[in-house]
Structure 1
Amino acid sequence: MSIIRIPGDPPLEVTLRRSARARRYSLRVSQLDGRVTLTLPQRAPEADGLAFVREKEAWIRRHLSDRPEDHVVRAWGTVPYEGRALPLVPGTGRTPQLREGGLAVPGPAEDVPPRVLAFLKTRARARLAAAADGHAAALGIGYRRLTVREARSRWGSCSSRGDLMFAWRLIMAPPEVLDYVAAHEVAHLVEMNHSSRFWAVVGGLMPGYEAPRAWLRANGSALHRVRFGD
């Protein structure tokens, strides 16, 4: 992959991605993070790709302007946490602590975004592990390993070896949404498909899962628009 830059106000950055299956140029503007990607055939000249981007510049800028604004976490604003806007307030000590008035974050203002991010990832792992453990115990089965990471394309996954993966950003959603994703992936330990049998397992673990599933479909992109610092 390579990046081309188009001058303007603001300048545009376009990621070039070559694909052996591509037969024509195609542009995509991500609603998650505003990333602009041009996919071009394997042997297409880069100069032709640049010309195509310039031709579509107005289209790109229109789509970027229509995209909802990012939520940038800064001192002393707010951060989404378990479905609510959690105020960030000055704190003491070495690590952020939940207080009645919000999340108390120690250190200077420039250290707030990375410390809040670390706090969220730690909380996400603990909550997801607890949820997965509970659902696995309800089924009388176990899993091999659990990882939590940044994931753009899916909220969770279950491998054929029994490894579970979850997106840490689920900690920003309401608790029942996180619990639904945990139940969904644990159910794959029994049914590695999305058949009626699979959904019956999910429903047994979490009756009423349809509501948090709908919430995630409607609001999940907003979780990806939370950024930590400029």
Structure 2
Amino acid sequence: MELNYKIVFSRRKTLTITVERDRSVVVTAPTGTSPQKIHQIVESRKLWIYEKTRHAQKYNPLPHPPGKELITGESLLYLGRNYRIELVEGSGEIRFEQKFIVPRMLANKSPALRNWFIARAEDKILPRVAMHAKNLGVKFKEAKIGYGKYRWGSCTPSDNVILNWRLIKSPMFVIDYVLVHELAHLIEQNHTPRFWNIVRVQIPAMEKAKAWLLKNGVLLEQDL
């Protein structure tokens, strides 16, 4: 069976293989690595790759329901809890006061609430990257909020940390786990026992966070 994979070249010194949550395979290789060498390494790890693609946490896109409707009485997930939506008359901005107060004129404009979540992600998630980097003793180039669907975070070959805006729906201990997970790749590029020990020391609730993402990942993937 032919194994399809995407190759990304980087200035890092070692080759890594990642199986994404949508089952796609990404090979990050040092610049200049020959295609033959990459193919040889991928072939040697084929059994491991197939096992990973069959893992319960990996899945193909599922047919989601249309998502939340912006109507009074509906609820939205924010920082791990569901909060009620209340539509109000008039114009203005979306407000959060232990419930989502949404001007009725924005109710049919789906980007409005998504943009609110993205802004909260920038305010609440990005500052924590520097805090965790200091605790780990690592340096990153830039932290950004990303718009992908099947990766909660990534650490790029240029040492940028990218976090999915959908993470703002999850509890803070889950957000911290994802941040530390990505930053730990600046110390250990592969998911070795050493890597997981680094993450676990910083995030004692690591297994709880992984279980939360496994259970609620599909909900996070919805735009609302």
TMscore range, shorter length: 0.5 to 0.7
In 2, are the aligned partners of 1:105 and 1:115 still within 8 Å (CA)?
no
Q: Which residue of 2 aligns with 1:143?
A: 140
CA distance in structure 2 between the partners assigned to 1:140 and 1:93 by the alignment: 47
Amino acid at match of 1:196: P
Structure 1 residues 73 and 164: CA distance shift in structure 2, 3 A? farther
1:114 Cα shift? 2.2
Q: Secondary structure at the match of 1:148?
A: strand
In 2, are the aligned partners of 1:75 and 1:112 still within 8 Å (CA)?
no
1:88 Cα shift? 1.7
Q: Does 1:171 align with 2:168?
A: yes
Q: Please list the CA deviations of residues 114-173 of structure 1 after superposition, one character each: whole Å capped at 9, or x if unmatched.
A: 221111011112222122121101122221111212212211110232101111111112
CA distance in structure 1 between the partners assigned to 2:149 and 2:223 by the alignment: 13
Deviates more, 1:104-113 or 1:175-184: 104-113
- Of 43, 68, 85, 2:82 maps to 85
Q: Which residue of 2 aligns with 1:94?
A: 92
1:175 Cα shift? 1.9
Q: Does 1:216 align with 2:213?
A: yes
In 1, are the aligned partners of 2:76 and 2:83 still within 8 Å (CA)?
yes
Q: Please list the CA deviations of residues 50-102 of structure 1 after superposition, one character each: whole Å capped at 9, or x if unmatched.
A: xxxxxxxxxxxxxxxx95634324233222111222212235773222113x0
CA distance in structure 1 between the partners assigned to 2:69 and 2:164 by the alignment: 18
- Of 175, 180, 192, 2:177 maps to 180
Amino acid at match of 2:155: C
TM-score calculated relative to the size of structure 1: 0.63
In 2, are the aligned partners of 1:73 and 1:79 still within 8 Å (CA)?
no
Q: Secondary structure at the match of 1:72?
A: coil
TM-score calculated relative to the size of structure 2: 0.65
Q: Which residue of 1 aligns with 2:151?
A: 154
Amino acid at match of 1:127: K
Structure 1 residues 73 and 137: CA distance shift in structure 2, 3 A? farther
Structure 1 or 2, whichever has the larger Rg, is 1
> Percent identity among equivalent residues?
28
Amino acid at match of 1:172: K
Q: Which runs of 5+ in 1 are unaligned?
A: 1-20, 22-30, 33-65
Q: Which residue of 2 aligns with 1:71?
A: 67
Q: Does 1:116 align with 2:110?
A: no
Amino acid at match of 1:74: L
CA distance in structure 2 between the partners assigned to 1:131 and 1:141 by the alignment: 14
More strand by share: 1
Deviates more, 1:67-76 or 1:173-182: 67-76
Q: How many residues align?
A: 166
